Structure 1
Amino acid sequence: MNYVLALFLPPLSILLIGRIFLAILVFVIWVPAIIFSGGLTHPMFIALAWILIYQAHADRRAGG
Protein backbone atom coordinates (compact mmCIF):
# COMPACT_ATOMS: atom_id res chain seq x y z
CA MET A 1 0.00 0.00 0.00
CA ASN A 2 2.77 2.45 0.86
CA TYR A 3 4.48 1.72 -2.44
CA VAL A 4 1.33 2.65 -4.34
CA LEU A 5 1.15 5.94 -2.43
CA ALA A 6 4.81 6.62 -3.22
CA LEU A 7 4.08 6.05 -6.91
CA PHE A 8 1.50 8.81 -6.96
CA LEU A 9 3.17 11.28 -4.58
CA PRO A 10 4.98 13.58 -7.07
CA PRO A 11 2.04 13.93 -9.51
CA LEU A 12 -0.39 14.28 -6.60
CA SER A 13 1.66 16.97 -4.88
CA ILE A 14 1.92 18.92 -8.15
CA LEU A 15 -1.84 18.55 -8.62
CA LEU A 16 -2.53 19.84 -5.10
CA ILE A 17 -0.71 23.12 -5.79
CA GLY A 18 -2.99 23.73 -8.77
CA ARG A 19 -0.83 22.76 -11.73
CA ILE A 20 -3.31 20.36 -13.33
CA PHE A 21 -1.74 20.08 -16.80
CA LEU A 22 1.75 19.63 -15.37
CA ALA A 23 0.49 16.99 -12.93
CA ILE A 24 -1.03 15.00 -15.78
CA LEU A 25 2.15 15.36 -17.82
CA VAL A 26 4.32 14.26 -14.90
CA PHE A 27 2.04 11.29 -14.27
CA VAL A 28 2.25 10.19 -17.92
CA ILE A 29 6.06 10.34 -17.79
CA TRP A 30 6.41 9.22 -14.16
CA VAL A 31 4.74 5.78 -14.33
CA PRO A 32 6.72 4.44 -17.34
CA ALA A 33 9.91 5.94 -15.92
CA ILE A 34 9.41 4.05 -12.66
CA ILE A 35 8.64 0.82 -14.52
CA PHE A 36 11.48 0.97 -17.04
CA SER A 37 14.25 2.57 -14.98
CA GLY A 38 13.50 0.92 -11.67
CA GLY A 39 13.10 4.28 -9.93
CA LEU A 40 16.23 6.04 -11.16
CA THR A 41 14.22 9.13 -12.11
CA HIS A 42 12.51 9.31 -8.70
CA PRO A 43 14.72 12.12 -7.27
CA MET A 44 14.19 14.26 -10.38
CA PHE A 45 10.39 14.29 -10.00
CA ILE A 46 10.57 14.78 -6.24
CA ALA A 47 12.82 17.81 -6.84
CA LEU A 48 10.38 19.15 -9.46
CA ALA A 49 7.49 18.84 -7.01
CA TRP A 50 9.42 20.60 -4.24
CA ILE A 51 10.48 23.44 -6.56
CA LEU A 52 6.88 23.97 -7.69
CA ILE A 53 5.58 23.90 -4.12
CA TYR A 54 8.23 26.44 -3.06
CA GLN A 55 7.38 28.63 -6.05
CA ALA A 56 3.68 28.53 -5.17
CA HIS A 57 4.45 29.60 -1.60
CA ALA A 58 6.76 32.38 -2.83
CA ASP A 59 4.06 33.63 -5.23
CA ARG A 60 1.52 33.64 -2.42
CA ARG A 61 3.85 35.64 -0.14
CA ALA A 62 4.61 38.19 -2.88
CA GLY A 63 0.96 38.64 -3.82
CA GLY A 64 -0.42 38.96 -0.32
Structure 2
Amino acid sequence: MNYVLALFLPPLSILLIGRPILSIVVFLIWVPAIIFSGGLTHPMFILLAWILIYQAHQDRRAR
Protein backbone atom coordinates (compact mmCIF):
# COMPACT_ATOMS: atom_id res chain seq x y z
CA MET A 1 0.00 0.00 0.00
CA ASN A 2 2.80 2.45 0.84
CA TYR A 3 4.48 1.71 -2.48
CA VAL A 4 1.35 2.66 -4.41
CA LEU A 5 1.10 5.89 -2.44
CA ALA A 6 4.75 6.66 -3.20
CA LEU A 7 4.03 6.25 -6.92
CA PHE A 8 1.37 8.93 -6.91
CA LEU A 9 2.45 11.40 -4.23
CA PRO A 10 4.76 13.76 -6.20
CA PRO A 11 2.62 13.91 -9.38
CA LEU A 12 -0.53 14.29 -7.30
CA SER A 13 0.90 17.12 -5.24
CA ILE A 14 1.97 18.93 -8.43
CA LEU A 15 -1.50 18.37 -9.90
CA LEU A 16 -3.14 19.80 -6.78
CA ILE A 17 -1.27 23.09 -7.11
CA GLY A 18 -2.73 23.54 -10.58
CA ARG A 19 -0.05 22.42 -13.00
CA PRO A 20 -1.63 19.43 -14.78
CA ILE A 21 0.78 19.25 -17.74
CA LEU A 22 3.81 19.22 -15.46
CA SER A 23 2.22 16.57 -13.25
CA ILE A 24 1.73 14.30 -16.28
CA VAL A 25 5.35 14.81 -17.33
CA VAL A 26 6.56 14.11 -13.80
CA PHE A 27 4.39 10.98 -13.63
CA LEU A 28 5.80 9.68 -16.92
CA ILE A 29 9.35 10.16 -15.63
CA TRP A 30 8.59 9.23 -12.02
CA VAL A 31 7.15 5.72 -12.54
CA PRO A 32 10.10 4.33 -14.56
CA ALA A 33 12.55 6.05 -12.20
CA ILE A 34 10.95 4.37 -9.19
CA ILE A 35 10.85 0.98 -10.92
CA PHE A 36 14.39 1.00 -12.31
CA SER A 37 16.29 2.81 -9.57
CA GLY A 38 14.39 1.51 -6.59
CA GLY A 39 13.40 4.97 -5.45
CA LEU A 40 16.72 6.81 -5.55
CA THR A 41 15.11 9.76 -7.31
CA HIS A 42 12.32 10.08 -4.74
CA PRO A 43 13.86 13.10 -2.92
CA MET A 44 14.38 14.93 -6.22
CA PHE A 45 10.70 14.78 -7.16
CA ILE A 46 9.54 15.61 -3.64
CA LEU A 47 11.82 18.65 -3.78
CA LEU A 48 10.35 19.62 -7.18
CA ALA A 49 6.84 19.40 -5.77
CA TRP A 50 7.70 21.56 -2.75
CA ILE A 51 9.40 24.18 -4.94
CA LEU A 52 6.31 24.37 -7.13
CA ILE A 53 4.06 24.67 -4.09
CA TYR A 54 6.25 27.49 -2.76
CA GLN A 55 6.12 29.26 -6.13
CA ALA A 56 2.33 28.96 -6.21
CA HIS A 57 2.14 30.63 -2.78
CA GLN A 58 4.47 33.39 -3.93
CA ASP A 59 2.32 33.95 -7.03
CA ARG A 60 -0.76 34.33 -4.84
CA ARG A 61 1.02 36.82 -2.55
CA ALA A 62 2.12 38.92 -5.53
CA ARG A 63 -1.47 39.41 -6.70
Instruction: Report the counterpart of residue 13 of structure 1 in structure 2.
Output: 13
Mark the runs of 5 or more structure 1 residues left unpaired by the alignment.
none
Mark the runs of 5 or more structure 2 residues left unpaired by the alignment.
none
Distance 2:33 2:59 in 1: 30
Moved beyond 3 Å, runs of 4+: none
Give identity over the alignment, percent.
87
C-alpha deviation, 1:27, in angstroms: 0.1
Cα RMSD (Å):
0.7
Q: How many residues align?
A: 63
Distance 1:34 1:22 in 2: 18
Deviations 1:21-58 (A, max 9, x none): 00000000000000000101000000000000000001
C-alpha deviation, 1:7, in angstroms: 1.4
Distance 1:42 1:34 in 2: 7
C-alpha deviation, 1:3, in angstroms: 2.1
TM-score using structure 2 length: 0.95
